[in-house]
Structure 1
Amino acid sequence: MSAPVVDVWGPVAPGARSSFPPAPEPHEEWPLPGGTAWVYYSPLNRRQLIRPVILSDGFSGGSSSLDQLWHGLEENGDFRFISELHATGRDVIILGYTDRTASITDNADTAIDCIRRAIAERVGRSKLVVGGFSMGGLVTRYALAKMEQDPSLPDHETSLHLSYDTPHEGAWFPVALQAFTHFATDEWGDSPTLGPVLRQFSGLLNSPAAKQMARWHIGKVGETPKPASERVAFLKALDGLGGWPRNLRKIGVANGVDTGTGNGVKPDATAVRCDGETLHDTWLKTQAQGDQEVARLQKTGGEPVFVRTSGLPDIDGAPGGLFTVPSPAGDTGSFGLAALLMTLLGNTVDPDVITTSCFIPAISAVAAGDINDPKALYRPITPAGSALDAFVCAGRNEGHTTMTEELGSWIVNEIASTD
């Protein structure tokens, strides 16, 4: 059995296929401790770094892929983000990491090195624009705040920080999905065909970066969902730096709506159920408020394991960027990924799968409320409620970090207005 395509989360097994065409050759490539920066000069600047925009990669498996990043920014939507920045005279620096699952604070040090290199290479005195996509917005937020507070570091010389569907207030990985992934890995992690896939995905959920982002985390089946100790420590460190960089303008966008309208996923609904060769009457439910049984997991011939939660919000249906993962059958989502794994394990999945769920609630992406609050999740978002200086939300709930003209053109205009 060949390894599936799971590009968003990185190659999940030796020999896993990648579906991205090669990116154009960068004008410069900067090796950095913990990463690489790829420099694309604006055609207006005659191969000089004059007005730098640093765009950070986010969370995924393994090291950053320039091909994947270029595709997401230029080819995977209805807006050519890099080309539009180039047209305004901005030079684009794409920042990638050796390990995208590493601690946010570790990759922030790489971002700091990139900022310092950009300042050193820059011709003239134009201020930088620095930001990132998904976790990349958190990495650069931390990096800039650290540069302001640490006297051993230079001025970041940055006028604008941007974040694109960034989990400022935390991300949502369905507890039912976490439990199933860990359960399947415990049972079949040694399989020569699917073992690498299961171990990789379970490892991603238990990686330092995932633990820092996830508002609720379980490291194994049976644990109580709560913020991991890594998240608690990260938030404390961020708070110690003032929470945000202050000597600049902060903007952000959300791939979810600001109206409070959810994505249509109902709480306490059976998202996926299967029966077959390896699993018996195994099902996962969408998250509801109050006490709930969110999963029934049973190896064929074994005893059932029930997964329960208490006090969580009905967040799967909340407005926000949707959990999307490319697969051999096309893009799928959180519960769609579970359905794929169940099928690969030799089981028949009921056809009425609820494939996806909210991943980055809109209030998290624009720093406008606690995602633990069910009322806040579904309340219209106002500018006064956000920690950002300006933001825009999508006109519909769409895939996480999807590049659209609606969001991309707003960011380009905001960057242009900093001149």
Structure 2
Amino acid sequence: MTSIIKLHCLSGAGDESPPCYVLQVDEFKFLLDCGWDEKFDMDFIKELKRHINSIDAVLLSHSDPLHLGALPYAVGQLGLNCPIYATLPVYKMGQMFMYDLYQSHRNVSDFDLFTLDDVDAAFDRITQLKYNQSVDMKGKGHGLRITPIPAGHSLGGTVWRIVAPGEEDIVYAPDFNHKKERHLNGCEIEKIMRPSLLLLGAANADYVQQRRRLRDEKLMKWMSDKLTRAFEGARSNPFALRHLQLCHSVVEVTRTPGPKVVLASFPDLEAGFARDLFLLWAPNNLNSIVLTARTSPGTLARDLIDKGGDRTIELMVKKRVRLEGAELEDFLQQQRMKINNTDKEDIGGISSDSESEGELEMCVVTGRHDIPVRHDTRPTGCFKTNKRHHAMYPFHEERTRADDYGEIIRVGRNCVSKL
């Protein structure tokens, strides 16, 4: 039987926006990646929200925010509750990426798009798979099978192979490298024979990489003769990184003496330690910046790639500071107003607007004892104006104690009596 296959592009088609697609096979819908750009585009979220309740499974291909950045928001704020599949490295590194993303923005602004609890909730839903481990879908996805294949682009990077009933393969390969690297094998995409549908990323299709021999020669030219002789003679590893030091703040970096190379997170330079170090070191022409990725248009890193760095750049610097004086008082006043508005909403209670027989009407008695009460009889009059509250007799637990012989003593206000 031939399946009906539809593909809807939420993001990542025709431009450099993050990948996010809805693949429908008959009645079953896959969400292929859930990336978010560096500016947290909310128009994309509005489009994602329209499909969120119909998603049956999510397939993640890579661990960076451009492939899974919107996942915590989708789970924590939009209510995405379907199974999510990824390899173990994508699970581990993706969670660290999102922790870092949240903390970097939270350190300089009131970032409230998602919380660390949303990150944990999203990654708790992930089923971790090994390469070439097949999983059969259940329910209305009966007959569908998914298999992760090495993408060769990053650790844990995945090309997803989806087998539909009565069809050939459906292959989702947004980012992959078919060449073998020093630390990763290449993607064996040629072993997938004639898929019926191939979803392929072509961002670097026109990029011609130099041969490895030429790249190795360039690497050897900045190495000293002493280092080269040590490698050729004693076969000592010049990249053992004996002088590697982990720093947890910019202050720790600046305290490290001597010339140094700093690896900082977020290649877009929009947040985090990478941006902090850029602001600190960019004015000195003795410092250099190495950009390891081509980020989205509109980011600081992309601006440096397109226009170069030998110029004056105006940047907005965000910083969290303690409120003092009038600013602190205004903030406290706003918080008090929010609390008062919340209390007024609670006093309104809960009432029924149904006219059907047998409907239960509940109201809330506010104060020290917020107890829902059922009316014995239905009130008369318009339900909008009828807001009666039934007072409840508060119950106070009596204080008791035992005497030296174990007898219980009731402690009252004005007397003490034995039971």
TM value normalised by structure 2:
0.25
Q: Which has the larger radius of gyration?
A: 2
Higher relative contact order (CA 8 A, sep 6+): 1
TM value normalised by structure 1:
0.25
